[in-house]
Structure 1
């Protein structure tokens, strides 16, 4: 008993560490706290490439409706690749939700949140359970490696001309005024 009392702080620290390691929501909570204090802020520097051929890059929603990126030319396209089991993906979801709510009624900006696991029912339930309004999609075609290779989360933004304007692998706080201004700049640039 004396051994337990003397080592209670160590035991509590070890239990906390195990919780963070093995419970995705606990790790996401910790990462979200780091984002709140300024870590993981994306640098919204426009890195414009030549116009990409987005035709044939397709995604489908829970109802089976297909979206072809080639049909979205003239709009800013915000793609986020994520998975329900991914703690960094979970950590950035609140900031993505806030960004989405700012632009959800803007017809010049399209958001596509792609479940990298392909289990659309599980992803839709995850989004609904957390009361997010994010439009969830799954892959419906091959995706070029310059858009998405394998790192989760990955965020990609195409400007109105179909040029790759932003690509970020890893979590980030997208509920940042600089990032909102960046999307508005893309939206207003022809």
Structure 2
């Protein structure tokens, strides 16, 4: 037990994490020297951490969860507490970013953090759901060429499943960045993208995207308007769409076995931050 903790903070943010520096103490966040792609709350949190008493530790996770602890009796205690606090707010693996005055971020471990280390045989026994390590529901869709297709037909590589609608302002704002992410990962066939419209006919979705030059594959969910609130699975089961997309947009990353490795409710920022993670699970799935 840590009895002396002078500062303790936990926040969950939508901003991804990246960039490194050799020293945590006295670094200039305003010049982007420590961590980039942070919102102001995260910048303030890291600045407070940098000025806090030792022993202290700062932990992070993909998707934006972070936590820090200071004033522990031992450095090891601060590390454990920071990791535990981070894990309490995310399904994603947490890792240490900084300990006292030293950045200890492990870029290789970060890229590998979406690897579930599960065989294809074991994946078939995973429960169906939308949590990390669960088997994502096998949606029945129509491909852009009109063919009926089950989502499971795309297994063998990572799949980015994105629920959106042209009526959704955050979806519209996110689309250019998502297009860049798509371009980067599909130029060498590292991942598949499945964009699924909600609460509007697919013709409207495609018309909106085509007029703006977006080329991502838009799959038809079968929904025709705001009165529709279900998705159909390959076995004929019907799910309320809120079970998969409580907000729009909602994005999932599935591994080569169709298991959820990452979920983001709401729009993402700078999706290319996750490119290394997807390439890692693509390489693992090809073995």
Corresponding position of 1:52: 135
User: Structure 1 unaligned runs (5+)?
Assistant: 1-35
Corresponding position of 1:32: none
CA shift in 2, pair 1:115/1:50, >3 Å: same
User: Structure 2 unaligned runs (5+)?
Assistant: 1-35, 40-61, 66-91, 93-113, 117-131, 223-231, 233-237
Structure 1 counterpart SS, 2:281: helix
Kept in 2: contact 1:82–1:153 (CA 8 A): yes
Ranges of 4+ aligned residues in structure 1 off by more than 6 Å: 144-147
RMSD: 2.9
CA shift in 2, pair 1:47/1:148, >3 Å: farther
Query: Who wins on radius of gyration, i.e. which is larger?
Result: 2
Structure of greater relative contact order (alpha carbons < 8 Å, 6+ residues apart): 1
CA shift in 2, pair 1:172/1:149, >3 Å: closer
Kept in 2: contact 1:76–1:159 (CA 8 A): yes
Matching of residue 189 in structure 1 with residue 272 in structure 2: no
CA shift in 2, pair 1:130/1:82, >3 Å: same
CA shift in 2, pair 1:170/1:52, >3 Å: same
Distance 2:166 2:278 in 1: 26
Matching of residue 77 in structure 1 with residue 172 in structure 2: no
Residues 70-124 of structure 1 deviation map (CA, whole Å, 9 limit, x = unaligned): 2122110101101111111111101100001112233341101111124111111
* TM norm structure 1: 0.68
Kept in 2: contact 1:158–1:165 (CA 8 A): yes
Deviation at 1:37, TM superposition (A): 6.4
Corresponding position of 1:150: 246
Matched ranges for 1:11-160 at <5 A? 38-39=38-39, 42-43=63-64, 45=92, 46=114, 48=116, 49-50=132-133, 52=135, 54-55=137-138, 57-140=139-222, 141=232, 142-143=238-239, 148-160=244-256
Return the structure number with greater helix share. Answer: 1
* TM norm structure 2: 0.47
Distance 2:192 2:279 in 1: 13
Farther off after superposition, 60-69 or 141-150: 141-150
